[in-house]
Chain A
């Protein structure tokens, strides 16, 4: 019995999950094939929609900013309705775990680099720390963590002009780990309320250590390592003991907030009845004219065909390897879809580190149906759509639009694939 579904989604990140959920809502059978862990573990866990246009921002209203984007931006194709549909699917999938859906306005979230950044949805644990909330803040870091320096974050946030006072202190974590223990180790100790070095529980010991430094501040921010499975409980206990609200500052990899989001998305896929095949890469396809019949997945050196009526390519951008390159050219490795790029690889980037790099916009060129097009402008295949980082034309890093582009293109590509299947 060959594997056959109505819709096959290739990829395992935010765009793939959204596309699969959107396709499933049409009542069709959906399978998602994913290779490695997604790049969510490297992301902040925030859901940015649009914060800057061509360096101008931060913009409070992402929808207002969409109009200022170039026409060939993916948002231009899916429209405001597509963005809202993506956010709806996201909100349904994550439930209470994320906030921000009560307003169209962006939130400003303190980052572990000390800046604030505009975002549309944020984990519940991040909510009390928003920069627009006028509450004096104590940032707390741990002695062994090098990524997050509380004094740097506090001073930097103040330099950004936030409407509150902030201080940063560094405390020893009350249980001694290896000097460069990962965030996950701290989280586990708090989850389990492991014994601190002084014999009591780490949660109480941590609250005691922070209380010593707390003066008039109304909230305390930690790097995002306050528990994993029992994070709400950990925060609540710390807040109770300290008598102030407690929040997390999103961090870089390994990002617990990103990992938790990945878990939630996969739980939502499971709940929606999406079939999951993970651990093997998609390596090629079989087509009949301009129609894809099957995608080949490499299982221990053997090409296994996954048949479907409609396909969604959501393999990510350069980071997720949905877009590849060598010294000569830029490619899309699964279907070899056209990826526009200069022949001179020195034009792929700018000399300024934070310049408007062409490589940041590399990706397939979608038509209004989100089908990748060939250089001629015609769709590469009649039943292939693309979503997320593999789609070109958005400078998601500078715009702070990565998640939004994934959600919106995922919703539209998945939804249409489902309708047509």
Chain B
């Protein structure tokens, strides 16, 4: 007779998406709100490493054990989001032998499969490693696509009855009688994103329990509720290369330091990263020296990086947290563990818990623990099954067939699509009616895949981008941004197409600015010429307030001849018959 308990989750990153799926699977009535796109915050701005745990095997063994456990789980339930590249911890001659031994022992202590390779063996695996690399430890690191992972979690939750609202920013936490009872959100002005909120309106969402899974933004939600959540946002830069210089995750085997990892990711490699505390998770300097540091330092491991082409750089903020009184000065020393702050117990304000800290690799385990907590609070008895039930797209990953004949597309394109879509390939490609041309050449994304993404994310082309990788390749959208936008015309008017295009174009530019030299500067100029010169998007009369005096422009030779005979009209510039030396306008 009781109603289904309701839960509201704030934050559409990996943790929030993991929680909403978990609770939906346990039969709760659950809603997720996210102020931007899914993965808009920290999740979408990470280097995509699926940790083996090796990274923490010396400094933080409990985290290392969790990582290897979850690494195995994700390989099982999220096959279409994971590429098992393997990883190396590489020792240069100047790196400490003792630390190398500690790392190896640490891996073994934590149950992480670890094997020592000689320098020669390591170079056999990765030919571009520096010639003087001494030796390496091989571990089961991998690459994971955080976008695909979050989308799969959210999609599964929606299928199980959850409500997911993107572009819905929390503007207030509702407190009644000393208890948190919900939040007020503001839906974005434009009708973009997923969910059914009315654009530009505010909405109060009530729930039996609220989970603040906003990571680096958790302090801001805390402020709205009147509780202190002292997150320490720490920024890190990541630089994206235009090709995969390595096919294995390459880590520097030394205690800690900036610029010590290269993660192969889809068609690219991602160089990371720095660790520097910032005041505001939204507003911090993005500086050129950080990019240079990535290239210069990681060139010590892979020398060709110093001359290689980068396509953009981006920064993310870690939601670091440590319990009050620990007093750690250096953010790299702060634990990567996560903390659940029950505001009832901690601040005498029941109805909400905040989650801070943690990392993507263990997102599911975190979600499980938090969901256990929520169920306990609500008196629900339901088992967690997220470690066993595959995500949508990963149910049956035997779909890598010969796609060329099947769907009338060239086979490399089909293969890439199938890698992204996993077991949904048949539905998406096979369900498409009509021609299915490639829209994004760099990443081999076809029209069917674009429309599938639009169906799930609306007119927000950045959301289409993260689902498909369209516009994320070498050309950074030069050849495909407008093609992606054109696909919206089937269901929307031209103004929507234009706005969506402008937004995507600007977003692509933001990161590309950090890669403007050499080949990529040349590419950026070509992009600028195509969009500004050939299309005239920067001088677009449709976007300008002033009216164009069309009659002052050339209307062709015949029109001019006709107009020329009607006498002098000062408004007509095109009436001089082309006599050289005369200035028609003056």
Contacts A64-B583, A84-B580, A160-B548 given; does A133 touch B541 at CB 8 Å: no
Q: Are the C-beta atoms of A133 and B573 separated by less than 8 Å?
A: no
Instruction: Tell me which residues from 512 to 546 in chain B have a Cβ below 8 Å from any Cβ of chain A.
Output: 513, 516-518, 521-522, 524-526, 528-542
A64–B553 alpha-carbon span in the complex (Å): 13
Query: Which residues from A are CB-within-8-Å of B538?
Result: 55, 354, 397-398
Q: Are the C-beta atoms of B537 and A354 separated by less than 8 Å?
A: yes
B585 within 8 A of A: yes
Q: Are the C-beta atoms of B438 and A357 separated by less than 8 Å?
A: no
Choose one: B489, B516, B547; the contact of A359 (CB below 8 Å).
B516
Instruction: Tell me which residues from 56 to 110 in chain A have a Cβ below 8 Å from any Cβ of chain B.
Output: 57-58, 60-61, 63-64, 84, 99-108
Query: Which residues from A are CB-within-8-Å of B555?
Result: 107, 130, 132-134
Of the listed stretches B65-73, B102-110, B159-167, B492-500, name the one at the interface; the rest are far from the partner chain. Answer: B492-500
Q: Are the C-beta atoms of A357 and B528 separated by less than 8 Å?
A: yes
A111 within 8 A of B: yes
Contacts A42-B526, A104-B582, A146-B483 given; does A113 touch B537 at CB 8 Å: yes
B559 within 8 A of A: yes
B284 within 8 A of A: no
Chain A residue nearest to B514 (CB atoms) is: A346
Contacts A43-B534, A61-B586, A324-B518 given; does A146 touch B550 at CB 8 Å: no
A351–B487 alpha-carbon span in the complex (Å): 27
Choose one: B535, B541, B557, B585; the contact of A113 (CB below 8 Å).
B535
Q: Are the C-beta atoms of A61 and B573 separated by less than 8 Å?
A: yes
A145–B434 alpha-carbon span in the complex (Å): 12
B258 within 8 A of A: no
For the complex formed, measure the closest distance between the CB of A91 and the CB atoms of chain B, giving whole angstroms.
10
Choose one: A55, A103, A353; the contact of B578 (CB below 8 Å).
A103
Chain A residue nearest to B513 (CB atoms) is: A349
Of the listed stretches A22-30, A44-52, A184-192, A276-284, name the one at the interface; the rest are far from the partner chain. Answer: A44-52
Contacts A111-B536, A398-B532 given; does A104 touch B573 at CB 8 Å: yes
Q: Are the C-beta atoms of A396 and B533 separated by less than 8 Å?
A: yes
A184–B505 alpha-carbon span in the complex (Å): 27
Chain A residue nearest to B536 (CB atoms) is: A117
Q: Are the C-beta atoms of A105 and B517 separated by less than 8 Å?
A: no
Query: Which residues from A are CB-within-8-Å of B533?
Result: 43-44, 48, 117, 396-397, 400, 402
B420 within 8 A of A: no
Chain A residue nearest to B540 (CB atoms) is: A115
Q: Are the C-beta atoms of B534 and A250 separated by less than 8 Å?
A: yes
Contacts A103-B576, A113-B482, A180-B438 given; does A398 touch B539 at CB 8 Å: yes
For the complex formed, measure the closest distance between the CB of B481 and the CB atoms of chain A, giving whole angstroms.
10
B552 within 8 A of A: yes
Q: Are the C-beta atoms of B550 and A108 separated by less than 8 Å?
A: yes
Q: Are the C-beta atoms of A42 and B529 separated by less than 8 Å?
A: yes
Query: Which residues from A are CB-within-8-Å of B431?
Result: none
Instruction: Tell me which residues from 126 to 164 in chain A have a Cβ below 8 Å from any Cβ of chain B.
Output: 127-128, 130-134, 143-149, 151-152, 155-157, 159-163
Q: Are the C-beta atoms of B553 and A105 separated by less than 8 Å?
A: yes
B436 within 8 A of A: yes
Query: Which residues from A are CB-within-8-Å of B524?
Result: 318, 349, 359
A10 within 8 A of B: no
Query: Which residues from B are CB-within-8-Å of A103?
Result: 554, 560, 573-578, 584
A156–B486 alpha-carbon span in the complex (Å): 12
Q: Are the C-beta atoms of A160 and B541 separated by less than 8 Å?
A: yes
Chain B residue nearest to A403 (CB atoms) is: B533
A351–B286 alpha-carbon span in the complex (Å): 12
Q: Are the C-beta atoms of A130 and B528 separated by less than 8 Å?
A: no
Q: Are the C-beta atoms of B577 and A102 separated by less than 8 Å?
A: yes
A84–B580 alpha-carbon span in the complex (Å): 8
A58–B417 alpha-carbon span in the complex (Å): 43
Q: Are the C-beta atoms of B494 and A61 separated by less than 8 Å?
A: no
Choose one: A108, A348, A354; the contact of B548 (CB below 8 Å).
A108
For the complex formed, measure the closest distance between the CB of A55 and the CB atoms of chain B, giving whole angstroms.
7
Q: Are the C-beta atoms of B574 and A354 separated by less than 8 Å?
A: no
Query: Which residues from A are CB-within-8-Å of B525?
Result: 317-319, 359-360, 397
B205 within 8 A of A: no
B435 within 8 A of A: yes
Contacts A147-B482, A402-B529 given; does A113 touch B534 at CB 8 Å: yes
A103–B295 alpha-carbon span in the complex (Å): 54
For the complex formed, measure the closest distance between the CB of A148 and the CB atoms of chain B, giving whole angstroms.
8
A352–B528 alpha-carbon span in the complex (Å): 12
A229–B219 alpha-carbon span in the complex (Å): 67
A230 within 8 A of B: no
Choose one: A58, A64, A143, A253; the contact of B585 (CB below 8 Å).
A64
Query: Which residues from B are CB-within-8-Å of A42?
Result: 526, 529-530
A344 within 8 A of B: yes
A288 within 8 A of B: no
Query: Which residues from B are CB-within-8-Å of A114?
Result: 494, 498, 535, 542
A118 within 8 A of B: yes
Q: Are the C-beta atoms of B516 and A326 separated by less than 8 Å?
A: no
Contacts A104-B583, A130-B555, A130-B556 given; does A146 touch B534 at CB 8 Å: no
Query: Which residues from A are CB-within-8-Å of B436?
Result: 179
A204 within 8 A of B: no
A345 within 8 A of B: yes
B479 within 8 A of A: yes
Choose one: B505, B530, B551, B584; the contact of A132 (CB below 8 Å).
B551
Choose one: A100, A253, A318, A346; the contact of B288 (CB below 8 Å).
A346
Q: Are the C-beta atoms of B578 and A104 separated by less than 8 Å?
A: yes
A61–B73 alpha-carbon span in the complex (Å): 67
Query: Which residues from A are CB-within-8-Å of B547?
Result: 161
A353–B574 alpha-carbon span in the complex (Å): 34
Contacts A151-B494, A163-B550 given; does A115 touch B535 at CB 8 Å: yes
B364 within 8 A of A: no
A44–B531 alpha-carbon span in the complex (Å): 11
A52–B536 alpha-carbon span in the complex (Å): 11
A15 within 8 A of B: no
A268–B585 alpha-carbon span in the complex (Å): 33
Q: Most B CB atoms within 10 A — which of A52, A101, A327?
A: A327
Instruction: Tell me which residues from 306 to 359 in chain A have a Cβ below 8 Å from any Cβ of chain B.
Output: 317-319, 321, 324-327, 344-346, 348-349, 351-354, 357, 359
B405 within 8 A of A: no
Q: Are the C-beta atoms of B526 and A60 separated by less than 8 Å?
A: no
Choose one: B439, B447, B530, B573; the contact of A60 (CB below 8 Å).
B573
A360–B531 alpha-carbon span in the complex (Å): 13
Chain A residue nearest to B410 (CB atoms) is: A178
Query: Which residues from B are CB-within-8-Å of A113?
Result: 482, 531, 534-537
Q: Most B CB atoms within 10 A — which of A55, A63, A143, A397?
A: A397
Chain A residue nearest to B494 (CB atoms) is: A155
Question: What mask results when residues 397 to 421 of chain A are scored 1 for a CB within 8 Å of chain B, else 0?
Answer: 1101010000000000000000000
Q: Are the C-beta atoms of B541 and A115 separated by less than 8 Å?
A: yes
Q: Are the C-beta atoms of A179 and B409 separated by less than 8 Å?
A: yes
Choose one: B497, B506, B518, B532; the contact of A397 (CB below 8 Å).
B532
Q: Are the C-beta atoms of B553 and A106 separated by less than 8 Å?
A: yes
B62 within 8 A of A: no
Query: Which residues from A are CB-within-8-Å of B127?
Result: none
Residue contacts A-B, CB under 8 angstroms, 30 given:
A42-B526, A55-B538, A55-B539, A58-B553, A61-B585, A106-B553, A106-B554, A107-B555, A107-B556, A111-B534, A111-B536, A113-B537, A116-B548, A117-B533, A127-B556, A128-B556, A133-B555, A146-B439, A146-B487, A157-B542, A161-B542, A318-B526, A321-B522, A359-B516, A360-B525, A397-B525, A397-B529, A397-B533, A400-B533, A402-B533
Closest 6 CB pairs of A and B: A113-B535, A61-B585, A155-B494, A117-B536, A180-B437, A102-B578
Known: A55-B539, A179-B437, A318-B526. 8 other contacts (CB 8 A): A113-B534, A115-B540, A147-B483, A155-B489, A161-B550, A162-B550, A353-B506, A396-B529
